[in-house]
Amino acid sequence: MKIRVQLVVCDNNGHEATFTDVAVLEKDCQRIEHLGLTLSKAKQILAALQQRLVDQQTSAFVVAHAQCEHCGTALRIKGYHPRTFRTLFGTVTLTSPRLYRCRRQRRKTTIFRPLNALLTDSVAPERLFMETKWASLVSYGLTPRFLMLS
């Protein structure tokens, strides 16, 4: 049996805009241990889903902020910078564009990264919460080892 897990992104009008395969599974169904997902496979699928979901969300954010707020002209791209974002389901690597500001705007800097407005921290709030919770419940020596595994 072949199972495809897809991410379908819909625009605000409800039209399906993007289809992305997250995982393709070849599953047998002859024995009890073949049923469902293993923990390791579920973690892989969640990590892949998280990567693609965050990619889609940050891309939409960048597109929305890639034109001048005042005159509406498209901003030129200077380059790209890799950015990591640690989530509860793994570390996501993003491509953060560096954009030139519009010449009509008076600013101290001529270049900015729009993702810096969205990603004010490199760790998701939910992960910070879980790290804090584990740190309060588990002894100091075990906490760093556990958090390095996740």
- The helix or strand, by DSSP H or E, that contains position 47, with its residue range, turns out to be helix 39-64
Whether 135 and 68 map to the same domain: the answer is no
Count of structural domains, the chain: 2
CA distances from 63 to 31, 56, 59, 89, 140 (A): 48, 11, 6, 25, 43
Beta bridge partners of 33: none
Q: Which amino acid is at 4?
A: R
Q: Identify the domain containing residue 31 by its residue range.
A: 2-119
Q: Is 76 found in the same domain as 31?
A: yes
In this structure, are 84 and 113 located in the same domain? Answer: yes
Strands lying side by side in the sheet with 111-112: 77-87, 90-100, 111-112
Residues 15 and 34 in one domain: yes
- Contacting residues for 62 by C-beta, under 8 A, at least 6 apart: 97, 114, 115
Give mean pLDDT in consecutive 10-residue pieces for the chain, a chain of 150 residues.
86 79 83 83 89 90 86 85 91 92 76 89 91 78 66
Same-domain status, 101 and 148:
no
Radius of gyration for the chain, computed over Cα atoms and rounded to the nearest angstrom: 20
Residues 100 and 142 in one domain: no
Pair 135, 83 in one domain? no
Same domain, residue pair 82 and 40 = yes
pTM of the model: 0.75
